[in-house]
Structure 1
Amino acid sequence: MTETAAADPGERGSLEIKHKAVERLAVLAARCTDAVTDRHPGLRVLGGRDLPKADVTVSGSRVRAQVAVAVTWPSPLAKVAADVRAAVARDLSELGTYTVDRVDVTVQCVPAEASSEEGRVQ
């Protein structure tokens, strides 16, 4: 039997998740939350970035996240923010390598419902 085959499975290697991957996971968790939308007319034209977006700080096995979202109208903003916070914390800690210290959620946009008249030329 070789030395590699006899090594304890816990000592064979490690998993390193890149900073951008952690941000992407936070964005995906936010996007999958009820009432969060990526529809925000005009923001891209004015130089805005797509929503949701996340900025994470990783220090060893600890994570802090700042997440910005757009929320559909009408939705209870406090509930949606709490749901996003819980989803991001859950998904990042389920990786098994991170302890989530804090998730701050900012609602940056509440786009109006599209009317059936919108975009119609008379």
Structure 2
Amino acid sequence: MTETAVEPGERGSLEIKHKAVERLAVLAARSTDAVTDRHPGLRVLGGRELPKADVTISGTRVRAKVDVAVTWPAPLAEVAANVRAAVARDLSELGIYTVDRVDVTVQCVPAETATDDEGRVQ
């Protein structure tokens, strides 16, 4: 029995589920300096965990909206630009999608918590 070679374009495809793409965007945001998942009281107020991503996929095109919490006193514009770049890079590295846009919103800037070594003023 002789097998004929199948053309590369006819061999199959890779499908990455929508939730997996959102998870990759969250992981990219979380790996960015000054992005934190420490946000005391935020769950009580809005029930949301950060970072959070919402992606829209249309064929091979992706748009992402990412919400983050940023530690004080990090420069917000710089952190947002770094998150935007990290999400675009990580989603593009899948080799499947072209990232059209990444919108980043800083939802929370939690105050730094005092360490045990620091004194307290009463």
Cα displacement (A) at 1:97: 0.7
Cα displacement (A) at 1:115: 1.8
Q: CA RMSD in A?
A: 1.3
Deviation string, structure 1 residues 41-96 (Cα, Å, up to 9, x no partner): 00112342110000010000000000000001110000000000000000011111
For residues 7 and 30 of structure 1, the distance between their equivalents in structure 2, rounded to whole angstroms, comes to 40
Matched letter for residue 108 of structure 1? Q
What residue number does 1:104 align with?
A: 103
Cα displacement (A) at 1:103: 0.3
What residue number does 2:18 align with?
A: 19
Cα displacement (A) at 1:10: 4.0
Q: How many residues align?
A: 115
For residues 7 and 116 of structure 1, the distance between their equivalents in structure 2, rounded to whole angstroms, comes to 63
* Structure 1 segments of 4+ aligned residues over 6 angstroms from their partners: none
Matched letter for residue 56 of structure 1? V
Cα displacement (A) at 1:7: 1.6
Other structure's SS at 1:45 match: helix
What residue number does 1:62 align with?
A: 61
What residue number does 2:39 align with?
A: 40
- In the superposition, the TM-score normalised over structure 1's length comes to 0.89
* Alignment gaps of 5+ in structure 1: 118-122
- In the superposition, the TM-score normalised over structure 2's length comes to 0.89
For residues 115 and 17 of structure 2, the distance between their equivalents in structure 1, rounded to whole angstroms, comes to 44
Other structure's SS at 1:44 match: helix
Cα displacement (A) at 1:20: 0.7
Other structure's SS at 1:49 match: coil
Cα displacement (A) at 1:8: 3.0
What residue number does 2:70 align with?
A: 71
Matched letter for residue 49 of structure 2? D
